[in-house]
A = this chain, B = another copy of it.
Amino acid sequence: MKTQENQSEERVSNRQVLINATLDAIAEIGLIRTSVSEIIERAGLSRGMIHLHFNGKPNLIVEAARYASEQYYQILHENIQGAESNPARLIEAIVRGDLGPKSLNTRNVSIWYEFRGAARNDAGIAAYSDTRDAGLRDLLRDAAFALAEREGASDPAAIARDMSFGLMALLEGMWTDFMLHPQSFDRQMAERIMFRYLSGTWPNSFDVSGVISP
């Protein structure tokens, strides 16, 4: 029975406006220079709003981290939809998704890197910075285990542990390289390197271009 709340879908609360402005600022000028003045100017709102909605700047930063983490997860699960049943296809979907423009873009990578660094000295941010890893790692490990078993490895658990860890680390490195050189980064090359790695361990499931179709 709200009045004209939903006259339009794009009606967003000022709370969310502040979060978006904060993430924009972090992406563009970094956490160091993201001041209250900077945020409220980008948001087009008044100074007191941060205190009203978040009880101070630190809380706003944490909420922005939570939101960014949720966004990443949502895209991840969209990427892997339909591939969950086949471990090789699942890994392929994760890799391609994580290197695709919806995940790997200047804004996301900058935000991710800034929060990562801040997490070292901020428990509140650390909570939402770690979740990304945990969820992704579990997905990869389970898929790697299934794959190792299927290919008849002697110790599938060990392989799964090493490979999920290695894939995570390699993706990390790709993101870092993208952050440092966004204009020269080559997505195709990045994917090829990932699949070369995968085919080295599971030559029956992968080649340099991805999953081998039967």
Contacts and interface: CB of A to CB of B under 8 A. Distances in A.
Contacts of A54: none
Contacts of A179: 120
A173 B169 contact: yes
Interface string A105-144: 0000010011011111100000001100100000000000
Contacts of A17: none
A130 to B, nearest CB: 7
Contact of A119 (B170, B173, B180): B180
Contact of A118 (B32, B120, B176): B32
Copies in the complex: 2
A204 to B, nearest CB: 13
A113 B121 contact: no
Given A29-B121, A169-B169, A172-B176, 18 more contacts: A30-B120, A30-B121, A32-B32, A32-B118, A113-B117, A116-B176, A116-B180, A120-B179, A129-B180, A165-B177, A165-B193, A166-B196, A168-B173, A169-B173, A170-B173, A172-B172, A172-B177, A196-B201
